A and B are shown apart, each in its own frame.
Chain A
Amino acid sequence: MLNQQEQHTKKLQKCRVLGPCAVEFAAANTGSWRLERPIVRFNECIKCGTCQRFCPADLITIDKGKKECVDIDMNYCKGCGICANECPKKCIDMVDERSVG
């Protein structure tokens, strides 16, 4: 608590550091690795949430109230295809990333 209060009185300043400190976070944007993109055919989707449970990166949110209920965070989806593989209705297609643009 004290630390947080102190921070208001402190200023953000550029400092030189020695040794390995990451200064670029682009590498964390794993979505850029994707070769294939999962696309859900929502007319066949039964909103079971299987894709969400199997996503190894936990990037899928299910909102059962919506028609397009499966939301995949494309900033981080690597296109591994596990969701498509596990979907009981087989209604997730893996589409060549280049064709999506």
Chain B
Amino acid sequence: MAHYKMLDGNTACVEAIKMAKVKVVSAYPITPQSTIAEKLSEEVESGALDAGYIRVESEHTAMSCAVGAQLTGVRTATATASVGLALMHEVLNVASGCRVPIVMPVVNRSLASPWSLWCDHQDSIAERDSGWLQLYCENVQDIYDTMLMAYRIAENPEVLTPIMVCLDGFFLSHSMQKVLLPEQAEVDEFIGEYTVNNLKLDPEDPMVIDNLIGSDEITEMKYQQAIGFEKAHDVMLEVFEEFYQKFGRRKALVEGYRTEDAEAVVVTLGSMSGTAKYVVDQLHEQGHKVGAVKVVSFRPFPAKELRELLSGIKKVAVIDRTTGFGGEGAPMWVETKAALSDEYLVKGYIAGLAGRDIHTGTIEQVFRDILASDQAGEKPVWIDCNTEHAMNIREVNKYV
């Protein structure tokens, strides 16, 4: 029987990894991911997880080991955050290019500098083009569920693309919440054994993997990856439906909340999505017709579904937890804008950098602004940022 447990986001990842019966773990601890690496090592030590634990000296090596290990025909586990993910950058592309379907939790944390341990999406969004699928989670139950589904999606023979399960640092990684955990047998039935569907490293039947390829073939190999992303879209829908049939919890590529007859919506990513729903309920009580849209899959970006969901809603506020320097807007805004025709007013907001809280007031402020706007403006709005003070926050004594 499925049973309730209190878990934080990191432990939910560990539970899912354990139940997926990975055979090799190579993780390097980094705040706020550390407890994933630590708990996995405890599970291996106690024998609860029958796997080898490779103690690596960096995230670059962690991902290299994961790629190599998974190519021998087993599931592997690793996890990272922030600058750790940045250090993996090179090998992330190797994993996706070699079509190694690794499932990796990414605990979202700001990138240096300035140094911060806190959450924003700069780390994973910066890996937008590394050829990984990216799903973002709203709460701890969602993390556990998404992890299970991620194995099915990534390992599908038509997809064969690694996947990041992104969870907000501290707000989710360290938040204790009630989670319904299924039995191992149910998970086994849903995920199944790992099967090699592509490249395999086997001394009995040697194969050279990742050699130098001429430009006459690389475009085609990249095209193969593009097809993998296209297929991932359909496979996700199938897996979400199967998960719903089996476990009773629904998931979509993009989820709408009270979007019917809404005049304005906020588009969100990650843990702020729950707060947005709460604010939508409150504003409805005050007579405002507003809704919330949560993007679950950032890669592939569900442009078609978003268009359908927003059809007839003219005002769209997009909250980015990243900066998008030098662009017309930040990455989520760019995607949303590209998905919609010019009839829509799509306005960008930047909020929640390095853990600055996206609280009810933040979302209310966005709704107030978008409801009063009749054009998007040329630049995104930096929410809660004292722009006058911003240029004067540091003064030091210097010899001149």
Q: Which residues in A have some Cβ–Cβ distance to B below 8 Å? A: 7, 10-21, 23
Contact = CB atoms under 8 A, between A and B. Distances in A.
A5 to B, nearest CB: 12
A18 B393 CA distance: 8
Contacts of B397: 12-15
- B interface bracket (residues with beta carbon within 8 Å of A): 10 to 19
Interface string B364-400: 0000000000000000000000000001101111111
Q: Which 10 A-B pairs have the closest CB atoms?
A: A20-B114, A10-B399, A15-B398, A17-B394, A13-B400, A21-B394, A14-B395, A12-B397, A16-B395, A17-B396
A13 B396 CA distance: 8
A14 B397 CA distance: 5
Nearest to B400: A13
Nearest to A16: B395
B325 interface: no
9 contacts: A7-B399, A15-B397, A17-B395, A19-B114, A19-B394, A20-B113, A20-B394, A23-B394, A23-B396
Nearest to B397: A12
A18 B396 CA distance: 10
A33 B397 CA distance: 28
A63 B399 CA distance: 40
Among B391, B394, B400, max chain A CB count under 10 A is at B394
Contact of A20 (B115, B398, B399): B115
Contacts of B394: 16-21, 23
Contact of A15 (B114, B391, B396): B396
Contacts of A14: 395-398
Interface string B90-121: 00000000000000000000000111000000
B118 to A, nearest CB: 14
Given A13-B398, A14-B395, 15 more contacts: A10-B399, A10-B400, A11-B400, A12-B399, A14-B398, A15-B395, A15-B396, A15-B397, A19-B114, A20-B114, A20-B115, A20-B394, A21-B394, A21-B396, A23-B395
B398 A12 contact: yes
Contacts of B396: 14-15, 17, 21, 23
A25 to B, nearest CB: 12
A17 B400 CA distance: 14
B395 A11 contact: no
Contacts of B398: 12-15
A66 B157 CA distance: 78
Nearest to A7: B399
Contacts of A12: 397-399
B400 A19 contact: no
Contacts of A18: 391, 394
A39 B396 CA distance: 39
Contact of B400 (A15, A16, A20, A21): A15
